[in-house]
Structure 1
Amino acid sequence: MIASTPLEAFYYWEKNSPDQPFLRQPLPGQWKIYTYKQAGIEIRKVANALKALHLAPQSKIAILSKNCAHWIMADLAIWMAGYISVPIYPTLSATGIQYIVEHSEAKAIFIGKLDDFGKQRAAIASSVHKISFPFYGPNEGSLWDDLLNTSPLAESPLPAAIDIASIMYSSGTTGTPKGVVLTFGAFDFVAKSLAKNLYIHKPEQFFSYLPLSHIAERSYIEMLVFYSGSTISFTESLDKFGDNLREVQPTLFGGVPRIFAKIQEGVLLKMPQQKLDRLLSIPIVSWIVKKTIRKKLGFSKTHLIVGGAAPIPVPLLTWFAKLGIEIREVYGMTENGGYSHGNHGTTVKIGTVGKPWPDIETKFTAEGEILTKHAGLMLGYYKDEESTRQSFTSDGFLKTGDKGIVDADGYLTITGRVKDQFKTDKAKFIAPAPIEMKFTSNKDIDSICVVGMGIPQPIALVVLSGLATGKSKAEIVEGLQATLDAVNATLEHYERIEKVVVLSESWTIENGFITPSLKVKRHEIEKVHAASYIDWYKQKDKILWS
């Protein structure tokens, strides 16, 4: 296939594999399947309807929806019409949505599969043209199905590689989201490089459930599908996730640490660890158990499982490996198209994010910050020249904001964020990420945030997992104390955790403590709990409940 942009790649499959399934959308009791030809007809009709709005070339059009077939079709229609797509996380509050719509100067917005659009509706000004997807609920403005009464766009427009394809707003663990400007050429470079280095040269079965407004899903799912003529299946709902995954049995799968932890939790709720260990110790039985678990999880045909967004705890990676499920960690960020390092090739080193991909340059600052450079980097931040300037070195390397170390074999381990360090009142700097990773060996812990501003020693704030539900308070305390002792034995004195505080409120996207990409928002947790640090620190017990 010869293509220089994702849009041209789609045209290739539309012409040469028209009957190949492209998008599979689960609806109650059935799968709605769109072939490349069928999707192409709808996309071209919607593109023509967008052109009829007579917007200025390169106008911005937003997409506010969970992952679904129409999300992908809307993205392609926006490009065919000569506009720029602006994905918005479907779980954002009205305030967050309003900021992105206004900051990006979006002239229109696609509205689709959402949990509570009633709370988000006010974020979209009446001047912004609304188009609603079918199947999912909101019927705002123009309806997608009504647009299908138009004639399909006859031509196949080809944007230049330097043209802007999308402005992707970061999910924001700190501060206001920034609009990352990515070109068609950047997406082209990342997609072709991933396909080459992950050996994706034929149609595959993808399963899409992480937000398409996140760079990982955009690059590793959407773009890879365009460049391989593959099929994307979506999930109907959170409740149906497991059922849909089992039905699809994808050949490729991607997840974040929280997803893999939830999958593990589900297995252990049905088969306690002691029983699983016993069965895995019996040769023939072990093979049967592994095969059965992989099939029930949906991984019976999966030949590539990728993990990213944040480091996955080594015990969790090892646990999956014992089941014959190899998770290859990769590393990247929106600003470099999600493309930097990966456990590619034949060797996977657990606990690292792998080596640099073959076609990029990397180096480190004196402080250990990772710098990357390749043809898929962002142009900059939309309407923010100062932040753009600060994000690049004088020789064109992107400052990732992440710190890392490289071992003797060239494998990178992420050690934290440059700005995540905090200082205790002993004037000691603490890097929380490595300490937090050590605590994840305790399966009763769902989420953790190590903090310590204004107190002599750091403390750990934790939220319990579902596996702790069936345990007594005494059992949980005993387990947390054992983990605390084991972790502190590996730390320098000034790093040792003084208290573990079990919080009663879960950290979720909805309450603002977790980003849409499932990372903990440290600054939000600090805002709520910082006033209690001194009181917690003074208490006698090591394990506290709040």
Structure 2
Amino acid sequence: MNNNKNQTTLLHRFLDWERSTPDSIYLTQPMPDGSVQDYSWREVGDQARRMAAHLHSLELPEKSSIGLFAKNTAHWIVADLAIWMAGHVSVPLYTTANADTVRYVLEHAEVRLLFVGRLEGEAAGWSAVSASIPADLPLIDLPMSSCGKGRSWEQIIASTEPLQSVHLPAPEELATIIYTSGSTGDPKGVMHSFRSMYTAPAVTGCMYANGNGTSNNDRLLSYLPLAHTAERAVVEAVSLFSGCRVFFSLGLETFAQDLRRARPTIFLSMPRLWGKFYQGINDKIDPAVQAAAFADPVAGKLMKENILAALGLDHVHTGLSGSAPLPVTVMEWYRQLGLELLEGYGMSENFGTSHFSLPGQVRVGYVGAAIPGVESRIGADNEILVKSPAQMLGYYKLPELTAQSYTEDGLFRTGDRGEMDEQGRLRITGRVKELFKTAKGKYVAPVPIEAKLGNHPRVEASCVTGVGLAQPLALLNVSAETRAALATAEGRDKVLTELEMFLAEINSQFEPHEQLACLVVVDEPWSIANALLTPTLKIRRSQIEDRYHHQFEHWGNSRGKVMFE
């Protein structure tokens, strides 16, 4: 455990690690040729200082916004450190963002310079958005950049002396502007100070290693977007706070290899990936064979160890999940393996520092109690209200919206609906504005129904809708394996039977007015590319409803229980 906890910002912490453990490896980056590049704290500091010196030489206005448009790599974090060392503000952009979103963020944040790295689709990804980049905006190509239009990171580092006297920010200074993924309307710029980014890992130690916190012996794998708060908080902030080693993944094709290389002790993922791991093992080892082995203390112990080792999760002491409910079967399977997955709830506005399940206190369907230092209560319309020590400074250029987002006593209006149990554990029941009324005049909350639908292994995402219909219905985005099965008559009949049985099971758990008239399997997979999922893989409800609304009445009045678009 790091015993030097008197620093006040993550940059101070970095400088401390650079000074006290200069030769320890901080970042490990796999390369396209199959090689692996390690960077020590000293080497990261040297490159960051050289880039900071270059930024200084450009004589940009104080606290300028500097964009980071790149997939996760070691140099994403090095560039972020360089921006801070030069006294500027980092503005990450999702690599999945379309041209309009890129244009909006660059203009709204008044970005003065843009670091460009690897993008979705590589060169094609750059071509898709390049027209939205102002012609006079200076570009710097990170190593492995998809752009090739800016100044080379390597050339700048080679020709620039390191900045010796770096900017040491005060805790209240603006550190970064994180643009929300924008499930509705334009993304909002969430302003975080150095204090909030430092406070998040400082107060969340209870989540890790059975309450023992994080240490410089921990290992992390970075693969979820660093432009999103969750990865920024669990990977970048925790690593800088505690001196952890960070490994990176080159992409989907190498992910399994990258995970086994990292052997992380802390692993954050989304329900979809936890489910894919589960399904992948079931495809190789029949669940009945697993159950028989697990019943034997000796054989079971060996099989569990082998499964976790095959996944690269055998060293994980803390498995984290968020963004959507975990299917119960998936959670129970990991618990059998000896890995208790911990679900949590947080927002960009509080740097993910809100509620989290703790080991031994997990309640299925709940996201845990408020983290120490967090105040929370249920307000009008069952809205979840939160005051976090890692709360944002406000929304960039939106002072009125910022003011409207807080109660008179300073709690943030999350827009989420919820309820708490006797231990203060929180259950998310939907969005305040997502309730809809059926033709019978009854209100339906879609999120709890969607959570149940997510328990089926064939369902990757769902959208429950039905404004003005006699009964609600559910649109299903199914797995690639299910789509392949639908190509044959036999496979289609099998899927139909499974989903009909599942619908009956789901409906038995809800009130009559909430029961689904039917399940509709949609043709086109929902994705970030077709704007039906956010960059964090949440559904864009309004866009999905707009796409299919002309068929709702037909589907709702049909006598079929499962239909295919």
Aligned twin of 2:503: 484
Contact preservation (8 Å) 2:85, 2:167: yes
Residue 56 of structure 2, aligned match among 47, 51, 58: 51
Aligned twin of 2:147: 138
Deviation at 1:346, TM superposition (A): 4.7
Deviation at 1:89, TM superposition (A): 0.6
Residue 30 of structure 2, aligned match among 14, 26, 29: 26
Paired letter, 2:222: S
Contact preservation (8 Å) 2:342, 2:359: no
Aligned twin of 1:182: 192
Deviation at 1:137, TM superposition (A): 3.3
Is 1:404 the equivalent of 2:408?
A: no
Counterpart Cα distance in 1 of 2:185 and 2:66: 24
Aligned twin of 1:125: 134
Contact preservation (8 Å) 1:309, 1:331: yes
Residue 562 of structure 2, aligned match among 540, 543, 546: 543
Is 1:507 the equivalent of 2:521?
A: no
Counterpart Cα distance in 1 of 2:236 and 2:13: 12
Q: Deviations over 1:412-456 (max 9, x none)?
A: 111111122122222221111111111223212121111112311
Deviation at 1:117, TM superposition (A): 1.3
Q: 1:517 to 1:143 in 2, by over 3 A?
A: same
Aligned twin of 1:357: 371
Aligned twin of 2:176: 166
Deviation at 1:476, TM superposition (A): 0.6
Deviation at 1:314, TM superposition (A): 2.4
Moved more, 36-45 or 401-410: 401-410
Counterpart Cα distance in 1 of 2:343 and 2:221: 18
Deviation at 1:537, TM superposition (A): 1.5
Deviation at 1:186, TM superposition (A): 0.9
Counterpart Cα distance in 2 of 1:425 and 1:102: 44
Counterpart Cα distance in 1 of 2:42 and 2:267: 25
State the SS of the aligned residue for 2:381.
Answer: coil
Paired letter, 2:29: Q
Contact preservation (8 Å) 2:322, 2:343: yes
State the SS of the aligned residue for 1:239.
Answer: helix
Aligned twin of 2:475: 461
State the SS of the aligned residue for 1:101.
Answer: helix
Paired letter, 2:172: I
Matches for 1:169-318 after TM superposition, within 5 Å = 169-195=179-205, 198=208, 199-318=213-332
Deviation at 1:270, TM superposition (A): 2.1
Is 1:527 the equivalent of 2:541?
A: no
Contact preservation (8 Å) 2:178, 2:227: yes
Residue 341 of structure 1, aligned match among 341, 355, 359: 355
Counterpart Cα distance in 1 of 2:200 and 2:143: 31
Counterpart Cα distance in 1 of 2:288 and 2:153: 53
Q: Deviations over 1:79-122 (max 9, x none)?
A: 11111000101111111111111111101110001122111111
Contact preservation (8 Å) 1:514, 1:521: yes
Aligned twin of 1:62: 67
Q: Deviations over 1:266-308 (max 9, x none)?
A: 2222233333333323332221111111001111111111111
Residue 107 of structure 2, aligned match among 102, 109, 113: 102
Contact preservation (8 Å) 2:206, 2:358: no
RMSD of aligned alpha carbons = 1.4
Is 1:424 the equivalent of 2:424?
A: no
Deviation at 1:374, TM superposition (A): 2.7
Moved over 3 A (4+): none
Counterpart Cα distance in 1 of 2:239 and 2:422: 35
Paired letter, 1:12: D
State the SS of the aligned residue for 1:240.
Answer: helix
Q: 1:136 to 1:127 in 2, by over 3 A?
A: closer
Aligned twin of 1:74: 79
Contact preservation (8 Å) 1:194, 1:224: no
Counterpart Cα distance in 2 of 1:539 and 1:163: 58
Counterpart Cα distance in 1 of 2:97 and 2:516: 33
Contact preservation (8 Å) 1:443, 1:467: no
Counterpart Cα distance in 1 of 2:222 and 2:216: 18
State the SS of the aligned residue for 1:156.
Answer: coil
State the SS of the aligned residue for 1:363.
Answer: strand
Aligned twin of 2:338: 324
Moved more, 438-447 or 292-301: 438-447
Paired letter, 1:158: L
Residue 449 of structure 1, aligned match among 463, 474, 478: 463
Contact preservation (8 Å) 1:189, 1:375: yes
Counterpart Cα distance in 2 of 1:467 and 1:172: 29
Deviation at 1:138, TM superposition (A): 2.1
Deviation at 1:515, TM superposition (A): 1.0
Counterpart Cα distance in 1 of 2:562 and 2:193: 50
Contact preservation (8 Å) 2:70, 2:95: yes
Q: Deviations over 1:228-267 (max 9, x none)?
A: 1111100011111111101211111001112212222222
Deviation at 1:345, TM superposition (A): 5.3
Residue 153 of structure 1, aligned match among 156, 163, 177: 163
Q: 1:543 to 1:346 in 2, by over 3 A?
A: closer
Moved more, 313-322 or 16-25: 313-322
State the SS of the aligned residue for 1:108.
Answer: strand
Q: 1:191 to 1:303 in 2, by over 3 A?
A: same
Counterpart Cα distance in 1 of 2:190 and 2:87: 19
Q: 1:387 to 1:104 in 2, by over 3 A?
A: same
State the SS of the aligned residue for 1:182.
Answer: strand
Counterpart Cα distance in 2 of 1:271 and 1:207: 26
Paired letter, 2:425: Y
Q: Deviations over 1:115-171 (max 9, x none)?
A: 221111112101211111112432122110111110100113211111100000001
Counterpart Cα distance in 1 of 2:468 and 2:424: 38
Contact preservation (8 Å) 1:364, 1:371: yes
Counterpart Cα distance in 2 of 1:360 and 1:463: 36
TM-score (norm 2): 0.94
State the SS of the aligned residue for 1:119.
Answer: helix
Contact preservation (8 Å) 1:164, 1:184: yes
Moved more, 278-287 or 432-441: 278-287
Counterpart Cα distance in 2 of 1:420 and 1:242: 37
Aligned twin of 1:8: 12
Is 1:370 the equivalent of 2:389?
A: no
Moved more, 372-381 or 158-167: 372-381
Deviation at 1:185, TM superposition (A): 0.8
Deviation at 1:183, TM superposition (A): 0.5
Q: 1:109 to 1:280 in 2, by over 3 A?
A: same
- Structure 1 stretches of 5 or more lacking a match? none
Query: How many pairs are equivalent?
Result: 546
Counterpart Cα distance in 2 of 1:506 and 1:273: 28
Contact preservation (8 Å) 1:195, 1:224: no
Paired letter, 2:127: G
Deviation at 1:312, TM superposition (A): 1.9
Contact preservation (8 Å) 1:65, 1:88: yes
State the SS of the aligned residue for 1:305.
Answer: strand
Counterpart Cα distance in 2 of 1:69 and 1:161: 25
